[in-house]
Chains A and B, each alone.
Chain A
Amino acid sequence: MRKLLGFLAENGVLVALIVLVIVCITQFGGAFLQPESIRNLFSQASYIGIIAVGMTFVIMTAGIDLSVGSLVALCGAVAILTLNKLAGGGSSESVSILMAALAALGIGATAGFFNGFVIAFGRVAPFVVTLAGLAAFRSIALVLGQGGEIRSQVPDFQEIGFGGIPIPGVTNQAGNPVVVYWSVLAFIGVALLASFLLNYTRYGRYVIAVGANERAARYSAIDTRAVKVWTYGFLGLLVGLAAFFNVARMNSVGTGSVGLFYELDAIAAVVIGGTSLRGGKGRIWGTVAGALLLTLITTMMTWYRVDTNWQGVVRGVVILVAVLLQRGSKSNDSN
């Protein structure tokens, strides 16, 4: 029993994912296995997933970033404004789109570095600094969008959201090729890059050391402040990336609604994936699985026609169960 609990705690997110996939296959059969359904699942998971990967590093340093949802709105707004401005000023569409992407990434990274800088050098708790960001970034986005939506004036912008690489030999029922969206490819790329950083670079080791025992890390001649600044900066950059794909898909940005509660979903994905909120321990594949699990649950609830008002309860229960399972394994370790 104890072994089973230990196994579940270590790999619970994978077990849960597999169980739910099996449930979906038996319940919905062909509909679930359609290439497009699977592709859509990954697509929906990708925005939160990209952010959650960055959040994993932040949480591994024993930090937190509550500002990511608002930052999505800010980056998205800036991206679309840049796009419209350049396209309206006579630049070619591809140049405008490229500059919009750079604007989103730049604003995201700047905000992230700013958070990290205040946290590391101002010695303010991450919770407080990013809570301020949560309030402020959304507000700036609302000012830019005059409280509402900003529409893109470049129709082809949507290509970024719906384009991608076709899977050879896979077509939908209408016979058109099924493409893997750019956002999904970016999600995969970001996850691989993050795994690489965590396991094969000094930076990854330092993140763990800072989260597990910051004083020991400092005494070990690690520049702990630089580690933090880079970690929040990296998350900010990824937020910019997620925001860019997100608004491209919509071809507009609802400054009051886009990215709402993304911070909660991203943190939930990280925690469900087995990264300790106390820092010093984490895994990227867990976060990826966590993001997929959350998305799958949302999808299933839609298919089962669960009242959307009730969906939050289900998500809350999932998060609690995940954390309780992990705690269970910890007390076993110490016995």
Chain B
Amino acid sequence: MPRLEVRDVVMQFPAVRALDRVSLSFEPSEVHGVIGENGAGKSTLMKILAGVQQPTSGSVFLEGDSVRFHSVRDALRRGIAMIHQELDLVDSLSVAENVFLGSEPTRFGLLNRADMNSRTNELLRSVGASFSSSAAVGSLSIAGKQLVEIAKALSHEARVLIMDEPTAVLTDQETVALFGLIEDLKSSGATVIYISHRLSEVERICDRISVLRDGVLVKTLGRGEASQSQMASLMVGRELSEMFPSKPELSSSEPILVASDFKVPGHVTNANISVRSGEIVGLAGLIGSGRTEFAEAIVGARTKRSGETRVEGKPVRIRSPKDAILAGIAYVSEDRKGTGLVLQMSVIENCTLANLREYAKPLMNKSKERITAEGWRRKLDIRANNLRAPIATLSGGNQQKVSIAKWLETQPRILVLDEPTRGVDIGAKREIYSLIRELAASGTACLLISSELPEIVGMCHRVVVMREGVTVGELTGEEISEGAIMQLAAGVEAA
């Protein structure tokens, strides 16, 4: 009997069907990989299994019994624990306090610290942690925090552990240690559901691999049944070459943007980059490599300790996004909801927000604003019934288009795009790729930051790779491949 099973699960959101009749089973003593592109429905499926969301229809079975989880606590009580991508621990509390948060052992109604600490130390030993139960969580590395999360799951006697991109933030050594731990968990009978888009890892540790695409289960593969490139084709559903328009010719010219010797306390120790007019330069690196912080420092959204920026050869001081725009640099942030858009505002108001000066001379010209937004709607094929409706009512892809439109509105010579296709469906993704290409072809210098290697490989003339806060290498033209980027990003020979 499978330990955990979903049957005909459907998850319908207002704009999109995230899961469409997915049926899947997870066995005891199994490491089950779930792969798929962003927006394929992996996270939604995991949220349903972990009790974060309830499916629109369909059922979940635990040890053969139909169950319905109403909350994370509910799922946890039944032995299902999720190790989040964004670890949700309380930094100011100790390891033991975090492990037992919400289920503190008590004696006569008082906290039983001794018991809490000894049990935590036992758990920490079993996951191979080198720190003690009394350490402050805030002082631990990301890998350490992950171990605390796993210990916390084990303290609830979890039999199913869901790991969402667990190695994204780990070094190689830490990754090896984690794989060892996963093996141990498996041999003790636990089910591990492993979500990743690193195909080499999935191939290495998973007994079975399920591929999701656009909310549908494409196939479940046995160990060794498919090569990495076959998995990739299953995920994308078409050859990768179709995703990306051809790269525009690049006429050699002087760099329009040069950022050199950048230092950002805690994130970037030495980073350099240059972009020429009409060029698409990729900035790659693992999560935590400092690539976003470097980009934010370039556009003045983050304070840098040092670093020189030159635009068209002239040094410029950029200490705020306002300075950046005046210098012709626009930044489409990775965090659409947090920094990219004002969700309560309408599509029109978001389109013009970064360039309001043009619409207030000195009185707001609302019809001009509307005409501008209309223009972007046509040009970028933004699907919105009503441009006056709050932008929160649009789907992710259309929100992203508005977020890009808002910056194009400032007519930048240099466009920095941070994860421009995150949480965007495939159709909108291709449109965004074509748009970036068109912009480059018309002379805009584009700096593309992405954790999706196919995107970097498919789009860029040149790729700069960061590792641990340093720009460690550069690849041009034919040299650009996922393998070559990974080698630089991880600092090792590719497996």
Residues of chain B contacted by A204 (CB below 8 angstroms): 364
As a 0/1 sequence over residues 312 to 352 of chain B, the CB contacts with chain A under 8 angstroms (1 = contact) are 00000000111011000001010000111111110001000
Assembly CA distance A221 to B320 (angstroms): 7
Flag whether B360 is at the interface (Cβ < 8 A): yes
Q: Contact between B360 and A221 (Cβ–Cβ < 8 Å)?
A: no
Beta-carbon nearest neighbor of B324 in chain A:
A221
Whether A217 pairs with B320 at a CB distance below 8 angstroms is no
Question: Which residues of A219-248 are within 8 A (CB) of B?
Answer: 219-223
Nearest CB in chain A: distance from B467 CB, A: 27
Instruction: Determine if A280 is an interface residue (Cβ-Cβ < 8 Å).
Output: yes
Known contacts A199-B364, A202-B357, A205-B356; is A219 also within 8 Å of B345 by CB? no
Residues of A within 8 A of B333 (CB): 219
Q: B351-368: contact bitstring with A at CB < 8 Å (1 yes, 0 no)?
A: 001101101101110000
Q: From A199, A201, A208, give the contact of B362 (CB < 8 A).
A: A201
Describe A's contact surface by its main secondary structure.
helix
User: A219 with B339: in contact, given A199-B364, A200-B363, A281-B344 (CB under 8 Å)?
Assistant: yes
- Asked whether, in the complex, the Cβ of B338 is within 8 Å of the Cβ of A216, the reply is yes
CB–CB A221/B354 < 8 A:
yes
B231 CB-CB contact with A under 8 Å = no
* Residue ranges of B at the interface with A (Cβ–Cβ < 8 Å): 301, 320-322, 324-325, 331, 333, 338-345, 349, 353-354, 356-357, 359-360, 362-364, 406, 410
Which of A's residues lie within 8 Å of B, judged by CB? 199-202, 204-206, 208-209, 212-213, 215-223, 280-281
Task: Out of B340, B353, B362, name the residue touching A205 (CB < 8 Å).
Answer: B353
**A-B pairs with CB below 8 Å: how many?**
72
| Closest Cβ neighbor of B336 among chain A residues | A216
The residues of A that contact B362 with a CB separation of less than 8 Å are: 201-202
> A220 touching B353 by the CB < 8 A rule?
yes
Q: Are A212 and B343 in contact (CB under 8 A)?
A: yes
The contact of A215 among B320, B339, B353, B354, by CB within 8 Å, is: B339
Closest chain A CB from B402 CB (angstroms): 12
| Most B-side CB within 10 Å, residue of A206, A208, A213, A221 | A221
- The reply to whether A221 and B325 contact each other, CB–CB distance below 8 Å, is yes
Verify A280–B356 contact, CB threshold 8 A. Answer: no
A221 to B301, CA, bound (A): 10
Say yes or no: A209 contacts B345, CB within 8 Å: yes
Inter-chain contact A216/B322, CB cutoff 8 Å = no
CB of A216 within 8 A of CB of B339, answer yes
Among all A-B residue pairs, the 5 with the closest Cβ atoms: A202-B360, A221-B322, A220-B354, A221-B325, A212-B344
> How far, in whole Å, are A201 and B331 apart by their CA atoms in the complex?
25
Question: Closest approach, in angstroms, between the C-beta of A205 and any C-beta of chain B?
Answer: 6
Interface contact B321-A221, CB-CB below 8 Å: yes
Residues of B within 8 A of A217 (CB): 342, 353
Q: Which residues of A contact B321 (CB under 8 A)?
A: 218-221
Q: A215-B338, A216-B339, A220-B321 are in contact. Are A209 and B353 (CB under 8 A)?
A: yes
